[in-house]
Every structure is written in C-alpha cells, then in structure tokens.
C-alpha cells in the first residue's frame, strides 16, 4: 500500500525513483494490458467500498451517480484502452517528400516518461483513474495527487492503486494544498490538472518553471442556447437532468440558459416540474446528492442572496417541512431569472444546483452574449433546424458540444475531452488521451541507394540548377 508523501524532499525523491525505473524498463504492450486489466479488476472488486467512501465524503451521494460516473466511466476508459492498445501502439507509415525518395517515413509513439495527475473532489475516482489509464496505456509511470476534500475516497484510491502497481510504477500522494503546490512544481514530462481556472493558472505557472507540458481540464460557465422553436419542455427536462446529477457539481454542468424572452417563464415552470418529478423530496432523498462541504454550500447560499439583492427573481424547488440530517448539506435546485451582469452568479462558475435563466430577443443577440465571455468547457445548443444549428456551431467555440442534450458527450471514447482558452487546454479520453501522454516520434529511414551525395559541398552546377528549378 502506498503511503502519503509528507514533504517536498520526498516528492522529489519519489519522482527520481520512478524516473530511474522508467529509464531501466519501458513496459511493452503485454505489460500495459496486464496493468490495465488488473486496474479494472481492482475497481470492480472495490466497487461497494468506493460507493460508501464517496457518499461519506459528500455527506450523502446518490449511489447510482457514483456507480454511473465514477465507477462505470472509469471502467469504460480502462477497458477501451486495453482493447485498442495494440493498434494504437503500431508504427504508422508516412509518406516522404518526393525529393527524399526512396527514403520512407513512419510515426512511432513513445512514452513521455513521468506523468503527474492532479484530480479534484467532485468526481474523485473518474477524474483520477481516467487519465491514469491513458498514461499507463501510453507506457508511462505516474504520480497521482487526489483531492484532500474527499479524504476517504482518496485514501481508498491509494489502497486500490497499491494493490495493482508497484511503488516504482504509480504512487498516490496525499496531502493538503501545500503538497499540491509542491507537486505541481515537480519536473514531470507531462502534468494533467483538473480543477478551477484560478488554480489552473497557478499550476501552469509552476509547471512553466520546468517547461513541463500541461493539460488543463478547467471549467467556466457552460451555456445552454434554446432556439426559438425548440420544444421548451424537452429542453427544460434535459437541463434539469444536467443540474440534478451530482447536484450540479460537474465541470460540464449547464451554467446558464439563454431562452427566448416570451418562453422564459414556461422554461422555468417546466424545469421546476422536472425537478419535482425527479426529486419529490430532498432532505431524505438518497437520489439527491448533497453539496460536498459546508464551505461550498455556504458559497451557493451567499450567491443566491447576492442575486436576490440585485433584483433577480429566485425560484426554488424546496419541499415544505423538510430538515436535512446532520452533516448533510442540501441546497435545493434554484433558478435565478435575469440577474444583472454584476451579480456573482454571472461572474463565477456556479458548480452547484443553481441555474441562471437569461432572456434574449434574437439568436444573434444570444450568440453575441456567449461570445462576449470566456470560451466555455461545454456548449449545449437545443435546435432542430440543421442549417441554423450549423451556423451557430461555426460561430461558438467551446471545449465540447452536445446538441439537444447535456453532459453525455463527456463520456464518449471517440470524442476527446478538453477545454479551450480559460476552460483549459489539451485533451484526454480514449485515443486522444493515449496521444497526450505519448511522443509522436517521426522516423525517416534512408535507403541504401539514394542521391544525397549529389548535393554535398562543394556544390556542383547540377545541385545549383536543381534547387533553382525547385524554387522557380
């Protein structure tokens, strides 16, 4: 079992030990497949423990949400890499310039070496194991820093990893923010961070000291754009799904909805009706996930109060007469109607069961509203007019797009996950993750019979005429 690494010296020594092991031996396809197989088996074996740990860390977490996201999606990522790994590892032929023939080219994939992974609290297993599976598939060794805000899950993750990997393959580092800061300063060959944009900037600055390449999976305010003639009840129901799942504590959760002005109230009522159907009670409902900490819950309550004080209409699904159990932080699904731009909920990612509704008068106005802000991690257009939808997608840049639904694009093996601009950089998942943690190494094989000596110095008249012809 891996133990927490207590200080900066040990972090550096641990990295050096792993790097020395990587220099000594790079795992082949068979070894990587075996590690991925055993990792999947360990997750399946520990499934019930993982559900219990996540629920204890959150105060209460819907078991099906942990099972469907953290457990199932982690297993999907592991199994997909395992099944496709040999094909991903094959060298690929590449053509060469006609002036270099009969040489031939190929593209090989080589492990980067040492990978660092910093994972957050909201999906404490998935956002640690999915990039780890990608890194192992690519032939790397890894150090993993899970969140200190989910201590039970992080400790269980360390035990799980210790069952599968030797201390010279993968190490889990546990500790507070100071350990995380020191972790980000290590000279990894690649560092993947998932978390807030604010912390992402600090991580990137720390990594820059070592010229460490980074993949940043951040967040931001992911918009929903409901087209004027789209069925309002369906759009509201799907957005309710995205806001209810994990109580909105999801980096790609819908953050605000742009809805035609005359349909705003209809959307609000349909949204609340969907929430009432999904969660007839909140305080004692095992399907409604709690807010992960008192600090996060108070943040959300303060932001609601700020929006109300600035004139926004606040609508809640709050069943009467309910009292949450001790230690369970419940924030009800809450709509904030047309808050002003200076409200905190318009400035910060909500990351909870709050949803902003903004009215618009034209599609151009709605798109301009999106474009005036940072590029989001996710964009959710609800539109059945193909030509209009295509024009929208031509204009809006986002980390990922899901049309006429929410969230589900994130779990697709063939679609890379990643942000753009303030919502992140780089990709992982599936083959994209394998490539992120690999060096695509170009190789040119010179033929035994070739004409390169014709162009050696001292340069002949033929060489001068040849290059003059090429550049005519």
Q: Give, in order, the Cα–Cα distances in Å from 55 to each of 89, 270, 372.
A: 38, 30, 39
318 alpha-carbon distance from chain centroid: 31
d(Cα 159, Cα 42) in Å, to the nearest integer?
10
Among all residues, which ones are annotated catalytic?
Answer: 217, 251
| Cα first-last separation, the chain | 67
Output DSSP code: residue 289: P
d(Cα 217, Cα 252) in Å, to the nearest integer?
10
For the chain, how big is the Rg over CA atoms in Å? 25
* Maximum distance among all Cα pairs of the chain, rounded to whole angstroms: 96
Three-state SS at 279:
coil
Nearest by Cα to 392 from 421, 401, 356:
401
d(Cα 357, Cα 223) in Å, to the nearest integer?
10
- Residue owning tokens 């002005």: 261
d(Cα 202, Cα 283) in Å, to the nearest integer?
37
Q: Do residues 136 and 123 touch, judged by C-beta distance below 8 A? A: no
Pairing status of strand 190-194 against strand 114-118: parallel
Cα angle 120, 121, 122; round to 5:
105
Output DSSP code: residue 70: I
Q: Do residues 142 and 32 touch, judged by C-beta distance below 8 A? A: no
Q: CB count, 10 Å around CB of 156?
A: 21
């Amino acid at each position: 079992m891996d133990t927490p690494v207590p200080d900066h010296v040990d972090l550096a020594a641990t990295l050096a030990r792993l790097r020395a092991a990587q220099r000594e031996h790079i795992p082949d396809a068979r070894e990587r497949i075996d590690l991925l197989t055993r990792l999947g088996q360990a997750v399946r074996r520990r499934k019930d423990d993982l559900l219990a740990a996540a629920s204890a860390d959150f105060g209460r977490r819907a078991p099906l949400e942990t099972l469907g996201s953290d457990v199932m999606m982690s297993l999907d990522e592991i199994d997909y890499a395992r099944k496709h790994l040999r094909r991903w590892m094959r060298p690929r032929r590449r053509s060469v310039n006609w002036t270099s023939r009969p040489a031939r080219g190929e593209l090989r994939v080589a492990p980067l070496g040492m990978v660092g992974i910093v994972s957050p609290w909201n999906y404490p297993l998935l956002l640690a194991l999915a990039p780890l599976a990608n890194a192992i598939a690519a032939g790397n060794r890894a150090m993993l820093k899970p969140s200190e805000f989910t201590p039970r899950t992080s400790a269980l993750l360390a035990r799980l990893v210790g069952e599968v990997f030797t201390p010279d393959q993968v190490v889990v580092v546990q500790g507070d923010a100071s350990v995380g800061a020191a972790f980000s300063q290590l000279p990894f060959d690649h560092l993947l961070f998932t978390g807030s944009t604010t912390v992402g900037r600090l991580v990137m600055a720390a990594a820059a000291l070592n010229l460490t390449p980074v993949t940043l999976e951040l967040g931001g305010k992911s918009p929903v754009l409901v087209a004027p003639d789209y069925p309002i009840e369906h759009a509201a129901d799907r957005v309710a799904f995205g806001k209810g799942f994990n109580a909105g504590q999801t980096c790609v959760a819908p953050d605000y909805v742009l809805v035609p002005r005359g349909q705003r109230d209809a959307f609000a009522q349909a949204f609340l009706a969907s929430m009432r159907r999904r969660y007839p009670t909140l305080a004692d409902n095992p399907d409604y996930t709690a807010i992960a900490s008192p600090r996060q819950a108070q943040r959300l309550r303060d932001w609601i109060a700020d929006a109300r004080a600035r004139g926004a209409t606040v609508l809640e699904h709050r069943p009467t007469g309910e009292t949450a159990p001790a230690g369970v932080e419940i924030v009800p699904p809450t709509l904030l109607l047309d808050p002003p731009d200076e409200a905190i909920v318009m400035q910060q990612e909500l990351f909870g069961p709050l949803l902003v509704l903004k009215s618009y008068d034209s599609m151009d106005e709605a798109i301009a509203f999106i474009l005036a802000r940072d590029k989001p991690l996710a964009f959710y257009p609800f539109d059945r007019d193909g030509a209009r939808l295509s024009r929208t997608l031509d204009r809006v840049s986002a980390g990922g797009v899901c049309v006429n639904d929410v969230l589900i694009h994130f779990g697709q093996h063939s679609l890379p996950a990643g942000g753009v601009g303030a919502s992140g950089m780089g990709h992982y998942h599936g083959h994209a993750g394998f490539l992120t943690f690999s060096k695509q190494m170009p190789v040119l094989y010179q033929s035994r019979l070739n004409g390169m000596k014709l162009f050696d110095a001292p340069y002949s008249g033929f060489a001068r005429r040849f290059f003059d012809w090429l550049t005519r």
